[in-house]
């Protein structure tokens, strides 16, 4: 990492690209998929939350540190380093190509997602582990959070999901180029179309999970507990 502080590093760029797909990208897809259990109702979603809460601590923390938080922190921090050295041409009319727009939006989305994830993780995983209260990440608490204050947090989460899905989808296209999977222009165009499909599909999946929090009414006891929990 030290060599990347003063100059571009082939190795760290490749590793940054890889961690964005495996395991961070894979984790995001499964996270959105499991969250979409909200559509099936509070019981199904809460079952997912309670399953992970019931894992032995050494297994849970090993997964969190080595599969989720570690790779995510590396990808985010090195991504900020890359963004700080970026020289986008979007403002120059002569360089307003589609790839330049994608490049610029990738940097913007990465910065926004980084800030969004700090808040999200701090108020969910970290807060529930520190307090030992898993009810704060169950269905009723989420419904209360997303619907109060004029649905402002629902809007924030919709934007966070969309930005995350764009960042991953563009990352797939960029990953295939960086790792020599798509070499020809034709293969890169095909992968770009696939990335667009991924962006739309994943965004709809994430928004569907958020919509699921609005579709069902939790039990009265759950609602009472949710109103007592902090954001």
Share of the chain above pLDDT 90, in %: 72
Asked whether the bond before 23 is cis by omega within 30 degrees of 0, the reply is: yes
Average pLDDT over residues 145-151: 93
Confidence of residue 1 (pLDDT cuts 50, 70, 90): very low
Question: Is the pLDDT confidence value at 55 over 60?
Answer: yes
**pLDDT at 189 (0 to 100):** 92
Nearest to 231, CA basis, from 143, 168, 166: 143
**pLDDT at 231 (0 to 100):** 52
Confidence of residue 102 (pLDDT cuts 50, 70, 90): confident
Helix axes 152-178, 24-35, angle to 10 degrees: 140
**pLDDT at 221 (0 to 100):** 53
φ, ψ for residue 87, nearest 5 deg: -130, 75
More confident residue, 35 or 94: 35
For 130, the enclosing helix (H) or strand (E) is helix 127-131
Instruction: Write the CB contacts of 24 (distance below 8 Å, at least 6 apart in sequence).
Output: 68, 71, 72, 75
Instruction: Write the CB contacts of 19 (distance below 8 Å, at least 6 apart in sequence).
Output: 71, 74, 75
Question: Is the pLDDT confidence value at 5 over 50?
Answer: no
How high does pLDDT run on average in the chain? 88
**pLDDT at 99 (0 to 100):** 73
What string of H, E and C letters represents the secondary structure of 42-64? HHHHHHHHHHHHCCCHHHHHHHH
Domain at 3-228, CATH from 1.20.1300.10, 3.10.50.40, 3.40.50.1820, 1.10.150.20? 1.20.1300.10
For 171, the enclosing helix (H) or strand (E) is helix 152-178
CA dihedral 17, 61, 144, 112 (to 10 degrees): -20
Is 188 within 8 Å of 180 (Cβ atoms)?
Answer: no
**pLDDT at 226 (0 to 100):** 54
**pLDDT at 35 (0 to 100):** 97
Residue boundaries of the structural domains of the chain: 3-228
Share of the chain above pLDDT 70, in %: 85
Confidence of residue 8 (pLDDT cuts 50, 70, 90): low
At 152-204, the pLDDT tens digits run 999 999 999 999 999 999 999 999 999 999 999 999 999 999 999 999 999 99
Is 24 within 8 Å of 75 (Cβ atoms)?
Answer: yes
Segment 128-131 long-range contacts (CB within 8 Å, at least 24 positions apart): 128/53
**pLDDT at 83 (0 to 100):** 83
Confidence of residue 47 (pLDDT cuts 50, 70, 90): very high
Q: Give the Cα separation of 169 and 99 in Å (integer).
A: 14
User: Cα 114 vs. chain centroid, distance in angstroms?
Assistant: 9
**pLDDT at 89 (0 to 100):** 62
User: Cα 73 vs. chain centroid, distance in angstroms?
Assistant: 12
Q: Give the Cα separation of 103 and 23 in Å (integer).
A: 22
């Amino acid at each position: 990492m030290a060599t990347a502080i003063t100059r571009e590093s082939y190795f760290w760029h490749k590793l940054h690209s890889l961690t964005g797909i495996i395991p961070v990208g894979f984790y995001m897809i499964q996270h959105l998929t499991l969250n979409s259990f909200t559509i099936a109702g509070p019981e199904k979603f809460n079952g997912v939350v309670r399953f992970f809460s019931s894992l032995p601590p050494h297994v849970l923390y090993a997964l969190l540190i080595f599969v989720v938080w570690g790779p995510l922190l590396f990808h985010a921090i090195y991504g900020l380093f890359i963004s700080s050295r970026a020289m986008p041409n979007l403002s120059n009319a002569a360089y307003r190509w589609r790839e330049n727009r994608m490049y610029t939006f990738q940097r913007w989305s990465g910065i926004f997602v980084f800030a969004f994830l700090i808040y999200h993780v701090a108020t969910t995983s970290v807060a529930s582990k520190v307090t030992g209260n898993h009810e704060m990440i169950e269905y009723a608490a989420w419904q209360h959070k997303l619907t109060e204050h004029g649905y402002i947090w629902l809007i924030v989460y919709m934007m966070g999901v969309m930005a995350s899905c764009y960042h991953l989808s563009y990352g797939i296209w960029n990953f295939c180029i960086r790792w020599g999977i798509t070499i020809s222009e034709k293969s890169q165009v095909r992968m770009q179309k696939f990335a667009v499909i991924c962006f739309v599909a994943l965004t709809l999946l994430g928004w569907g999970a958020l919509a699921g929090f609005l579709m069902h009414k939790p039990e009265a006891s759950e609602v009472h507990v949710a109103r007592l929990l902090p954001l």
